[in-house]
Amino acid sequence: MLNILMERLKQGRRTLSFPKGKPPVLPARYRGRPIVAGLKDGVDLGKITFIPDSGIQHSNDFRMAASRREDLVLKGDDAHALAHALNKKILEMFGRSLKLRQVSAGGCNACEADINVLNTPVFDLSRFGIQFVASPRHADGIVVTGPISRNMKEALLKTHEATPDPKIVIAVGACAISGGIFSESPESSKGLDTLLPVDLYIPGCPPHPLTILDGLLRLMGRLRKE
């Protein structure tokens, strides 16, 4: 035990200063918010999946979460509308402490893995008062990943029903937002908002942990709109 503690002391501080301090530096190969200037038809962040040779250029900007589905559609040089805080009444309840139940609705586990990363010392999600809980009855909302397969639809709806009101719903990843590569399959949904009202859309395939964290903090009113 003593050796473990000594090794931890040698490592020093591992937690990112985000959202304070300098913006995090992501690797050059990171595929952030697309550069839409010059693209005639624009880009729908809610449908972009991991296709390296898609022909779309990407910036290094991880801020992509939105409060409305239409805000994920980027056209020309239009400003990207980022997620905004919950309404005042709900924010008073969840602004300092938010408990979430994660539902994997037929996903490949990539989005789930990046959500789990938020609980590591590097991101330390709990310092913001955000925690994932085991039961929907102890939750303030649900986080949904995956294309919502036919076999998971009933389980998802029951989980949502078991979550006390008022509650929030968060769609994480292209599959949850639009069905992703499974959008044309009769065995999956066309997006979470065809089944439930969604308060926050976090695009990506999978979304970077910083994209998820940025969206959650904006939802809780912890970050400015820009």
Cα–Cα dist 206/91, whole Å? 27
pLDDT at 93: 80
Domain coordinates in residue numbering, the chain: 1-226
CA 118 to chain centre: 11
Full DSSP string of 159-195: HHHHSPSS-EEEEESHHHHH-GGGTT-TTB-S-GGGT
Q: What angle do CA 168, 17, 131 make, to 5 degrees?
A: 30
Within 13 A of 19's CA, how many CA atoms are on the CB side?
A: 17
pLDDT tens, the chain, 226 aa long: 888 777 767 766 678 888 887 788 888 888 888 887 766 777 889 998 876 656 678 888 999 999 999 999 988 665 678 999 888 878 788 878 899 999 999 999 999 999 999 999 899 999 999 999 999 999 999 999 999 999 999 999 999 999 999 999 999 999 999 998 888 899 999 999 999 999 999 999 999 999 999 999 999 988 865 5
Q: Which fold has domain 1-226?
A: Rossmann fold (3.40.50)
pLDDT at 39: 67
63, 141 Cβ separation under 8 angstroms: no
In degrees to the nearest 10, what's the CA dihedral of 122, 127, 130, 132?
A: 60
Record the pTM.
Answer: 0.90
Cα–Cα dist 86/220, whole Å? 7
pLDDT at 216: 95
